[in-house]
Amino acid sequence: MDLKYEKKNIHSTITEKEISMMKKYSKEYMKFLNEAKTEYLCVEYAIELLTKNNFVDINTLQEIKEGDKVYFINKEKSLYVAVIGKDALTCGVNIIGAHIDSPRLDIKPMPLYEKQNVALLKTQYYGGIKKYQWLAIPLAMHGVIYNEKNEKVVVSAGEEDDDFCFTITDLLPHLSRDQMKLSANEFIDPEKMSVLFGSIQDRTVKKDKIKENILKVLYRKYGIKEIDFARSEICFVPSFKAKYVGIDESLIGGYGQDDRVCAYSTLKAIVDIANKPDTVDRTMIAMIVDKEETGSYGNTSMSSLTFDMFMNRLINMSGEDADLLEIYFNSKMLSADVSTCVDPCYEEVSDIQNSNTLNCGVSLEKYTGSGGKYSSSDANASYMSEIMNLFDREKIVYQLGTLGKIEKGGGGTIAYILANKGVNVVDCGTPILSMHSPFEVASEADIYMTYKAYVEFFRMR
């Protein structure tokens, strides 16, 4: 009898067949990372994937019945997906929710200025970043902007290999003596994080020659004027592509894996199950939401009541006499967000026996938060047991993580928002290294195991 718990490394048991399935999955996943670097682009990608697999916009239907596959788009930046099961909604639904916003640099409402023969755009960072990591790297620009006719213009530049890109300058070491004395938190002034945007003059004008020329270029390319920046959502993200990391090609590096790795697994899982001929028992709900990185505030975040509206829509369209709160009470959820794993170079911030390790599977995290479990959603023991038994039964390799040593920092996910509604929730996602950096790293085996865990959760009774 095995009394002692020991972690398993996926590579100690993985079969050749699983490896080839995993490689195929990774290829598509990396393509997704490259194509969907903002929440707008993620939603677009998701709709394409769902449409290809016969999911329909819920607005096109009058009623829903067992086996129906629907989605609801919330302001182009978050998405709720449902596959209707055999059981009544009142029995509860199986929910997986991930977020699709990632740390990045947004532009300010009036960003353009010129100085020392260069045009620049002022930025404001979005989410928790280590500011120095975003300097002197190639950046791409993505977003939407509206013109005075209220027409939406999609902006995307800096992604193609033969395309131009953008960057933020950093001070040369030779003149950084004073700067290097400051703490890492202080030595980059966020007001100095302006993006290099151009340098050619418009010689027909007297002043602001470069700014004027940039405005001409922008008008030519996008039909926009300076004031239109105020009605835009434009951001800068790393322009480099996702790649295998390591001589054995076992890890995947790329921007925005927090939390697009779990968002992708969630979408793939619901689509793959929906493609099987048998219908599921419990209704499955997949969601990819916005604004987690800034605290889940706003109408596209998980806190938005739009999710309740979607659930009410399902009740009304199913013709069932159900109560939304009772559905929540009987529902189960995986909060699909990345966790950290022990960084081999910074072991001291982790409690090793309560931390994730690369290649040891999807992370099941009973609680997040910080210090005295503040702001955390702490899963009930009975629910932990239910999920652990499911994973054991279905041979899902998982590990039990926490977010570092108790007083070293901390963080949260969307878990508490659904838990507050009465849903049984636990955090479950891929462990990653260099979280919130421009190039986050995860194990390919853990990524694939995350997908498999989500498939089994969705199907659970």
Would you tell me which residues interact with Mn ion (CB under 5 A)? 258-259, 337
Of 119 and 441, which CB lies nearer to Mn ion in the complex structure?
441
The DSSP-derived string for 425-455 is EEEEE-EEESTTSSSEEEEHHHHHHHHHHHH
| DSSP structure string for 80-127 | EEEE--SS-GGG--EEEEEE----EEEEEEEEEEEETTEEEEEEEEES
Here the tokens at position 94 are 């199986």
User: Of 39 and 259, which CB lies nearer to Mn ion in the complex structure?
Assistant: 259
- For residues 337 and 446, which CB has a smaller minimum distance to Mn ion in the complex? 337
Between 81 and 415, CB nearer to Mn ion: 415
In the bound state with Mn ion, the residue whose beta carbon lies nearer, of 197 and 416, is: 416
Rank residues 107 and 432 by Cβ distance to Mn ion and give the closer one. 432
* Helices vs strands, H then E, count in the chain: 9, 21
Work out how close the CB of 338 gets to Mn ion at its nearest, in angstroms, rounded to a whole number: 5
Measured CA to CA, the distance from residue 58 to residue 70 in angstroms comes to 5
CB of 365 to Mn ion, least distance (A): 12
Residue 100 or 322 with smaller CB distance to Mn ion: 100
What's the closest the beta carbon of residue 427 comes to Mn ion, in angstroms?
10
Structure tokens at 395: 């041979």
Q: Judged by CB, which is closer to Mn ion: 114, or 337?
A: 337
What is the rounded CA–CA span in Å between residue 393 and residue 456? 10
Measured from the CB atom, the residue of 361 and 412 that comes closer to Mn ion is 412
State the minimum distance, in angstroms, from the CB of residue 296 to Mn ion: 11
Compare residues 258 and 444 and give the one whose CB is closer to Mn ion. Answer: 258
Q: Which string of DSSP letters, residue by residue, matches 296-360?
A: S-STTSTTSTHHHHHHHHHHHHHT----HHHHHHT-EEEE---EEB--TT-GGGS-GGGSB-TTS
Phi, psi torsion values for 84, nearest 5 degrees = -75, 130
SS3 content of the chain, % helix, strand, coil (to 5): 35, 25, 40
Tell the smallest beta-carbon distance from residue 99 to Mn ion (Å).
6
| The two structure tokens encoding residue 341 | 């794993």
Least distance to Mn ion, CB of residue 81, Å? 19
Task: Give the residue from 226, 256, 273 showing the smallest Cα distance to 40.
Answer: 256
Say how far apart CA 444 and CA 359 lie, in whole Å. Answer: 8
- Least Å distance between CB 259 and Mn ion? 4
Q: Which of 91, 119, 79 is nearest to 290 (CA)?
A: 79
Distance in angstroms (rounded) separating the CA atoms of residues 454 and 460:
10
Using CB atoms, what's the residue nearest to Mn ion? 259
CB of 436 to Mn ion, least distance (A): 6
Residue number with CB closer to Mn ion (337 or 365): 337
DSSP 8-state assignment for residue 70: E
Nearest approach in angstroms of CB 449 to Mn ion is 18
CB 226, CB 212: distance < 8 Å: no
CB 36, min distance to Mn ion, A: 15
Least CB distance to Mn ion at residue 128 (A): 7
- Residue pair 361/399 in contact (Cβ under 8 Å)? The answer is yes
